[in-house]
Structure 1
């Protein structure tokens, strides 16, 4: 069919209605594509965490799918109006099928792709590609065909039609981004958001099938294909419980779970898991039982580093209601394990907990026996909270326990942040940062120490003696302040720790040639690449 024949085949009547239909279809399909992109990061977080690598993979895979889809869609614009409608129906059905298939597929392929010990970045890219490339490809084919149809309705002004469709596609993408980030994930969660996207694609497919006035045989084929798709997705979805959200609570920030830990401790206890990382173990009946080594160490360090008389029981009992035994700030709440312990042990301490996610606090209250009474809880970013506090506010101890996947967020490990911490510490106070890194070559640890040594007079690296040589990664505690800890070795009923001696640490630090972490340059993901691989 020639260009003139094709244009002549477009009915004169109903042009405005068809243009509106094309616009709606483009808006909905473009929005669905971006909704799925945003949801993709949340879906894979319980399996691979939420890091720069995961978001890079998601964005690259989705854009690759769109690009290939646009190319293929451009090749499918030839033919009659009815044939274009028919193609759109089948392509949107394929988009619905592949989008819905993500739900059972993620549970099927995750142990296969992520169970090896190969390159972690490659594993994340393959995992993301298997899940999200085809949905992006099929929905990407829609835009060129719809744009071609819009041009046919405005043969005298093709540039205007193309510009309008490009703009509508961008508006749909913006709407999808906003809907996913501010509405869908907060109200219905990632699982049902995917169902909604697949449903919207299916509705568009059926609409174009009706507009194409398919012959009986082809209509029956489309109906059979639709039924087969729903059955193919539904059976494994039901068997794998894929419509059951993988989280106890899916907040604006995290996938949060509460795991019964009684069997491991021999006492009623729970473990909080955020995305795919443990964030605290709470004992129901005795808050002062601290299972996590680094939390236990901070608890032991407190009386070591503060003046001994400040925690003397007689002095504590004599304090008036307005006085505080000490002031503590926690950047990151998690299960609120240590604040809860210090509530019990030092009821007259003044504690502030900055936890960015209100849902984490709610889960700690409802599932981890945390009582916020007597504490100040602030739901905002930790660095922002420090900057907003009154200039005279000081703390005897600041605990850094905010995590983004395996590491603290990059803006909480920089030289500028260290300077802010130093201004907030009272004389004799100290900062304690939990840090996970490679046991053999902890390059992020080296960069962190080198950075904080530019601000603090003393920076210590504490290690758990029982963790040495026990695995590919270790949990360290960095302690920074204006004075060293009184003793280089400490012990509790459960753990033993030692300061990494400078005569061993300093040569390794010099040989590592790691960068100073700044607000302008903090390559945390690159420095922790080996740890990422161990976590998959």
Structure 2
């Protein structure tokens, strides 16, 4: 156990995978680092990776990707994206400066400019982003097991949308309970900032059978109605997931109210 700026972090060897490590922040599983950077342990990270792969192939130049990660942990997704797109530039925004120092010490993470870790609050730093300065923004911010309200509001989504290039992609990892209230509120808010939205989750999660993760997608470009390759990747995952298009997603959050910075 190691003290950090916001609490403590535990580094635990993975008893099922040689050379791999689990990272727990304040008692909550946060990251997993395998020897192979392309080996993502958490299913939601693999779903994010599949969505990015599809979107980049369709809309972005893989040689000039500017990717911002709001929430870093041990930088598993950023490490994966550097391995997948070696010319990409990944900036990880991590609140806990000591955690950022420790993961650099423990793991052979790519160096800047491929992977830069910036210490600070995700919302505060997002507010300083220049317009059209990012191609992909990934929000994976948690305080314990909850995403802070500051990165879940309409105002935040508008900030992210402005920072993205016109052909950019916003991706959020939404942790939710079985009632799916958080996902509905976030999607309602995202619809105020992005012309097009979609989501990814396991079938059982979408049916409200348990708590878990829903991946939320937003873009000013139309998102696919029936993406065959993405569907294939998601269904082939160790934890199969479904891509839900815009029509389904808008019906899903009908009647839900978005969150605002000062109107909650």
Matched position secondary structure for 1:262: coil
Contact 2:71 2:122 in 1 (8 A): yes
For residue 124 of structure 2, the aligned residue among 368, 384, 391 is 384
Is this contact kept in 1: 2:197–2:223, CA < 8 A?
Answer: no
Unaligned runs of 5+ in 2: none
> What corresponds to 1:275 in structure 2?
26
Report the counterpart of residue 450 of structure 1 in structure 2: 188
**Number of residue equivalences:** 257
Cα pair 2:60 2:167 within 8 Å, conserved: no
Residue matched to 2:217: 479
Aligned-CA RMSD value = 2.5
Question: Could you say which residue in structure 2 is the equivalent of 1:256?
Answer: 9
CA distance in 2, matches of 1:493, 1:500: 16
CA contact (8 A) 1:306 1:428 kept: no
Instruction: Measure, in 2, the Cα distance between the counterparts of 1:485 and 1:294.
Output: 19
1:35-62 deviations in whole A, cap 9, x for unaligned?
xxxxxxxxxxxxxxxxxxxxxxxxxxxx
Paired residues for 1:287-436 under 5 Å: 287-308=37-58, 324-374=63-113, 375-389=115-129, 391-392=130-131, 394-436=133-175
Q: Which is richer in strand?
A: 2
Q: Distance in 1 between matches of 2:132 and 2:253?
A: 34
Report the alpha carbon displacement of residue 515 of structure 1 after superposing the two structures with TM.
2.9
Decide whether aligned partners of structure 1 residues 359 and 372 sit closer, same or farther in structure 2, where only a CA change above 3 A counts: farther
- Structure 1 counterpart of 2:261, from 495, 511, 519: 519
SS of 1:496's partner is coil
CA distance in 2, matches of 1:504, 1:343: 33
Post-superposition offset of 1:300:
1.6
Residue 460 of structure 1 aligns to a residue in which SS?
A: strand
When you count helix as a share of all residues, which structure comes out higher? 1
What displacement does 1:363 show? 2.3
Residue deviations 1:140-182, cap 9 Å, x none? xxxxxxxxxxxxxxxxxxxxxxxxxxxxxxxxxxxxxxxxxxx
Which structure's CA Rg is the greater one? 1
TM-score normalised to structure 1 length: 0.45
Task: Describe the SS at the equivalent of 1:388.
Answer: coil
CA distance in 2, matches of 1:469, 1:260: 34
Please state if 1:497 is matched with 2:237.
no
Write the mapping of 1:165-244 to structure 2, written as runs, cut at 5 A.
none
Structure 2 distance, partners of 1:293, 1:483, is 26
Q: TM-score, normalised by structure 2?
A: 0.87
Confirm or deny that 1:509 pairs with 2:249. no
Tell me which residue corresponds to 1:235.
none
